């Protein structure tokens, strides 16, 4: 039976890049891709070796992800973040795919990534933390402004400052980062 890798990712550029890299590692790897984790639940494969999943889905689709982990207890779930994608090499992905064989080296690689990403702590003001918390709750700029009795322009300025301080490009990345770092 071929080695089966599932990719659950809505961003086509990341998904296609990962598929090409996986095929370059080993053309016998069976790669199946989905936009949403619910599709994997419906598909119900006999066995899945590795699941690469959009990191944001680990928070937004927690019930489905927990169900998948019960359905596939021996499967390794790997969260895809922009941080990891920017720094992935072919060897890194190969190690991630063949996790069972290289568990210790993977732990070392991941530890290095974690240490790199936490070298410079992010300092947010109380107001920025409050806005970040409201963003994580799914509030838009206008509703945050109404909630905090400030102008939407002020919320936009705070949001821009938070994105700049955290070096993130959008709110999804920002919220994922905030959960990773324990800011939220």
Compute the CA torsion angle 1, 37, 181, 129 (nearest 10 deg): 170
Residue-wise pLDDT tens digits, 29-44: 888 888 888 888 788 7
Residues 135 and 114 in one domain: no
Q: Is the pTM of this model over 0.85?
A: no
* Overall domain count for the chain: 2
Residues 9 and 65 in one domain: yes
Residues 32 and 110 in one domain: yes
The sign one gets for the Cα dihedral 83, 58, 121, 118 is: negative
d(CA 184, CA 174): 11
Specify the pLDDT at position 150. 95
Specify the pLDDT at position 78. 78
State which H helix or E strand residue 108 sits in.
helix 103-117
Count, residues in the chain: 184
Query: Which structural domain range is residue 86 located in?
Result: 3-118
Specify the pLDDT at position 119. 43
pLDDT in tens, the chain (184 residues): 678 888 888 888 778 888 887 787 777 888 888 888 888 878 877 888 888 888 777 767 778 888 888 888 888 787 765 545 555 565 666 666 665 554 454 445 445 554 554 445 678 899 998 999 898 888 899 999 999 999 999 999 999 999 988 888 888 888 888 877 777 7
Query: In the structure encoding, which two tokens stand for residue 176, read together?
Result: 């994922």
d(CA 72, CA 116): 31
């Amino acid at each position: 039976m071929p080695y089966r890798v599932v990719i659950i990712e809505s961003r086509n550029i990341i998904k296609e890049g990962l598929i090409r890299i996986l095929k370059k590692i080993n053309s016998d790897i069976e790669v199946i891709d989905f936009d949403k984790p619910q599709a994997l639940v419906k598909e119900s494969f006999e066995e899945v070796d590795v699941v690469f999943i959009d990191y944001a889905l680990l928070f937004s689709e927690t019930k489905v992800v927990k169900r998948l982990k019960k359905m596939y207890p021996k499967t390794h779930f790997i969260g895809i973040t922009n941080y990891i994608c920017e720094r992935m090499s072919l060897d890194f992905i190969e190690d991630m795919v063949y996790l069972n064989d290289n568990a210790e080296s993977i732990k070392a690689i991941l530890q290095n990534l974690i240490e790199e990403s936490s070298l410079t702590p992010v300092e947010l003001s109380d107001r920025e933390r409050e806005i970040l918390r409201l963003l994580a709750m799914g509030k838009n700029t206008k509703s945050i402004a109404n909630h905090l009795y400030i102008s939407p322009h002020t919320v936009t300025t705070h949001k821009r400052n938070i994105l700049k301080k955290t070096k993130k490009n959008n709110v999804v990345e920002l919220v994922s980062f905030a959960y990773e770092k324990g800011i939220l």
